[in-house]
């Protein structure tokens, strides 16, 4: 006789072992980390894309501004305000890489105004959007070039130092850095009104405008000659200067005067001026009172009533006037303003007959090489 033994199922539930729990937690943590990393990368890429698009709009605004004024906005200005009429969308001035509450703050703090001669190529640093930790920068260069760079170590606590670092990386001296012996490039003005280079420099000139004319709308032809440590030469060529012309001379020694001379070449005006006994030319260091050299912090010259077609000196100088109402240019710049009419009348001295910006930058080659 067989015996049937009933086996009762165990009512005791089997739990997870410690190893299984740890493995599960590890898998979940890995998935969370992976998802978080993917999310951070996606968010970063999206912010960079917005920053690049914003800077392209700013680049368009800078280009339109330059076409109108033949200059970039002055150093230290609020780009959002200055470029607003040329851009139209104030969101373009907001930094998407950080929680910026005031549109344009980052652009203004990191802005380094290029010289007019640097408009096209090579491409020079202008401004940038930078992340809170200084590791990411979306950089705008002249010519509308926008670049994205990661892995940086920018000094975010000092916008001025951050701007200098960016300018050294992608600006004029991105190859080799700024030479120590030419770091103080700039001008001094002597008692005789000579504009003199401080150190070995490259000297740039840009004609901002020439508005000497008659009631019939005809502008008078003016020729510019210069003297930089040698004889007189034609920086803008033999043709009359109409504004927009540029010139560059490399490796100008320290203590060299940068002298400009403007002369009337229009035959009718020359004949008329001779009849009146007026000078046909003025030099930047003469004592005639017909030439004004402006430096940073000077009072700008205001527009005077003129012919309706003329651009006043106040308008020509507008890009170089800061928020405080004074001339806002770098220490290495000087503005030469000429006037050919010596009469103190309604249409007299207005200094818009010729305006030239001169800039001394650190020499790319030592002066002794020339």
Instruction: State the greatest distance between any 2 C-alpha atoms of the chain, in Å, as a whole number.
Output: 152
Structure tokens at 170: 């992608």
Range in 27-31, 117-121, 179-183, 216-220 with the lowest mean pLDDT: 179-183
DSSP state of 334: E
pLDDT value at residue 269? 93
Look at the alpha carbons of 165, 169, 171, 172 in this order and tell me if their dihedral is positive or negative: positive
Average pLDDT over residues 67-96: 83
- pLDDT bucket at 164, cuts 50 / 70 / 90: confident
Residue 173 pLDDT greater than 50, yes or no: no
Average pLDDT of every residue of the chain: 80
Structure tokens at 117: 């001669």
Look at the alpha carbons of 319, 62, 98, 170 in this order and tell me if their dihedral is positive or negative: negative
Q: CA torsion, points 6, 9, 11, 14, in degrees to nearest 10?
A: 150
Distance CA 70, CA 276 (A): 34
DSSP state of 125: E
- Alpha carbon 12 to its chain centroid, in Å, reads 78
Distance CA 93, CA 54 (A): 7
Distance CA 341, CA 348 (A): 6
Average pLDDT over residues 214-226: 90
pLDDT value at residue 176? 37
Residues in the chain, how many?
A: 370
pLDDT value at residue 132? 85
- CA 104 vs CA 56, 142, 152: distances in Å: 14, 18, 22
Burial code of 198-233, b = ≥16 C-beta within 10 A, e = fewer? bbbbbbbbbbbbbbbbeeeeebbbbbbbbbbeeeee
pLDDT value at residue 188? 87
Q: What is the CA radius of gyration of the chain?
A: 31
Helix (H) or strand (E) holding 356, with range, is strand 354-362
Structure tokens at 275: 């009849």
Percentage of the chain modeled with pLDDT above 90: 20
Q: How many helices (H) and strands (E) does the chain have?
A: 6, 13
Q: What would the pLDDT profile of 326-349 be if each residue is shown by its tens digit?
A: 887 777 889 999 999 887 555 556
CB 212 within 8 A of CB 242: no
Q: Looking at the whole model, is its pTM more than 0.85?
A: no
CB-neighbour burial class of residue 248 (10 A; exposed 0-12, middle 13-18, buried 19+): middle
Residue 234 pLDDT greater than 90, yes or no: yes
pLDDT value at residue 235? 92
Average pLDDT over residues 348-364: 82
Helix (H) or strand (E) holding 147, with range, is strand 145-149
């Amino acid at each position: 006789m067989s015996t049937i033994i009933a086996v009762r199922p165990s009512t005791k539930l089997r739990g997870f072992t410690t190893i299984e729990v740890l493995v599960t937690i590890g898998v979940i943590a890995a998935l969370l980390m992976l998802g978080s990393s993917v999310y951070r990368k996606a968010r970063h890429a999206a912010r960079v894309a917005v920053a690049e698009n914003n800077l392209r709009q700013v680049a368009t605004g800078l280009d339109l501004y330059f076409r109108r004024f033949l200059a970039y906005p002055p150093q230290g200005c609020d780009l959002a305000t200055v470029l607003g009429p040329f851009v139209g969308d104030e969101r373009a001035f907001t930094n998407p890489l950080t929680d910026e509450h005031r549109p344009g703050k980052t652009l203004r703090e990191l802005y380094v105004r290029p010289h007019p001669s640097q408009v096209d190529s090579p491409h020079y640093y202008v401004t940038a959007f930078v992340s809170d930790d200084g590791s990411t920068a979306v950089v705008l260069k002249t010519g509308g070039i926008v670049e994205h760079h990661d892995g940086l170590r920018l000094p975010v606590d000092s916008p001025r130092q951050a701007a200098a670092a960016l300018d050294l990386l992608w600006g004029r001296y991105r190859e080799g850095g700024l030479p120590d012996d030419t770091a103080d490039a700039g001008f001094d003005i002597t008692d005789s009104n000579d504009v003199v280079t401080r150190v070995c420099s490259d000297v740039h000139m840009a004609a901002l405008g020439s508005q000497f004319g008659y009631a019939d709308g005809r502008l008078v032809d003016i020729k510019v000659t210069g003297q930089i440590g040698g004889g007189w030469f034609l920086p803008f060529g033999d043709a009359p200067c109409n504004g927009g012309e540029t010139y560059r001379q490399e490796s100008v020694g320290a203590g060299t005067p940068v002298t400009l001379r403007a002369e009337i070449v229009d035959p009718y005006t020359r004949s008329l001026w001779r009849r009146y006994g007026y000078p046909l030319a003025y030099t930047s260091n003469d004592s005639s009172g017909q030439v004004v050299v402006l430096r940073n912090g000077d009072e700008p010259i205001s527009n005077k009533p003129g012919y309706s077609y003329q651009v006043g000196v106040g308008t020509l100088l507008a890009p170089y006037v800061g928020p405080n109402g004074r001339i806002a240019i770098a220490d290495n710049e000087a503005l030469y303003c000429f006037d050919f009419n010596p009469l103190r009348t309604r249409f007299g001295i207005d200094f818009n007959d010729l305006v030239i910006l001169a800039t001394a930058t650190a020499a790319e080659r030592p002066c002794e090489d020339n």
